[in-house]
Amino acid sequence: MNILFYGLGGVGQRHLRNVSHLAESVKVAAIRHTSNTFEIDDNLKVNHNVDIIKKYNISIYHDLSDAINKFKPDIAIIASPSSYHSILALELIKNKIHVFVEKPISTNLENLDSITKYLNKSNTKLCVNYMMRSHPIFKKLRKLIKDKYIGRILSAQFVHNSYFPSWHEYENYQDLYAGKKNLGGGTILTNIHMIDLIYCLFGLPKKVTTIGGRLSSLNIDVEDTIACLLQYEIDDQLIPVTLNLSFVQKPDLNEITINSERGKIILSFDHNQLTMVKDNEVKEYIRDDYKRNDLFVDCLKEFLLSVQKDCDVDTSYFNVIEGHFLALKIKESLNTNKPIKV
């Protein structure tokens, strides 16, 4: 299998390690515009003694069309800054190359109609790395809600806080795509995983209202903190779902709370734990045996399955695109300072 990479930073190298173990007879090429060859491990620690180009025998190209024509990839993995995702994905799909792309699929609506058109008329597969869908505690939560475990839902809260200047020890935060508007940064699209999980559980809301912006003192030109009210209709009743995203907060907090008349369910990704309170009875579901890299592996396995079996999987384009549109509506509400119908 010929695999083309666009982006071999921290997440790109993680995908490189994982796919090398999952696929047979792998040949690797990469499009590169940097001279960095050091290895970045799963904990984002740098090893300057390892040259990844030599370690994985990677063929280097500087142009996408050149790589497509000469290397003839079967699949491509896009782990570039967000603003390039849809441009690259469209060109690859036009050439009938299966694509696994980091979230988000795009930073705006541009190219999405064309991507949809080419996917509809071919057997080419595109999956987005929404790996949090694979987490066993989220799968458990998804089933509990589907089965109405705690009865009628009254409200829900989704919170994701982190501090992005500390994400990568190998680069200054001012160079990181997350803090740059022209590279598709900002907490909404960078932390789009949580928006995708809202969509997984509840579908699309009636309306969204977002406030926030660049509230920190960091030298960035994107929103770093937002609060969003999403108005849902569930069981013929309007309920509030709130979303709080920030990548300038300490300590990290990554959790979901679902409230009902009979109790609540609290999901903590930080502790791999689900706490279920029903009629004052408390149960816990803990998966401390599950490692973060398992999520990436599971998502890649799904993608490879979709390619090998010519089938759709949970993270296929048409199963995630409405959630992506929701993220763009949340961003539109922030930028216009107005409620937006979805």
> In which domain, by residue range, is 207 found?
132-290+323-341
- Are residue 202 and residue 249 in the same domain, yes or no? yes
Domain count, the chain: 2
Tokens of 141: 């939560």
Average pLDDT over residues 146-171: 94
Q: What is the pLDDT of residue 97?
A: 98
Q: What is the pLDDT of residue 202?
A: 97
CATH number for position 27: 3.40.50.720
Q: What is the CATH number of the domain that holds 253?
A: 3.30.360.10
Give yes or no for residue 35 having a pLDDT over 90. Answer: no
Please give the full DSSP string across 244-302, using - where no structure is assigned.
EEESEEEEEEEEEEEEESSEEEEEETTTTEEEEEETTEEEEEE-TT--HHHHHHHHHHH
Do residues 183 and 198 both lie within one domain? Answer: yes
Residue with structure tokens 């694979």? 134
255 shares its domain with 140? yes
**What pLDDT score does 170 carry?**
84
pLDDT digits (tens, 9 = 90+) for 214-269: 999 999 999 999 999 999 998 889 999 999 999 999 999 999 999 999 999 999 99
State the average pLDDT for the chain: 96
Are 311 and 336 part of one and the same domain?
no
Are residues 158 and 77 part of one domain? no
- Segment 44-95, tens digit of pLDDT: 999 999 999 999 999 999 999 999 999 999 999 999 999 999 999 999 999 9
Same domain as 257, residue 198: yes
pLDDT of 24 strictly over 90: no
* Pair (140, 235) in one structural domain: yes
Q: Is the pLDDT score of 30 beyond 90?
A: yes
Same domain membership, residue 88 and residue 233: no
According to DSSP, residue 173 is labeled G
**pLDDT, position 235:** 85
Residues 40 and 178 in one domain: no
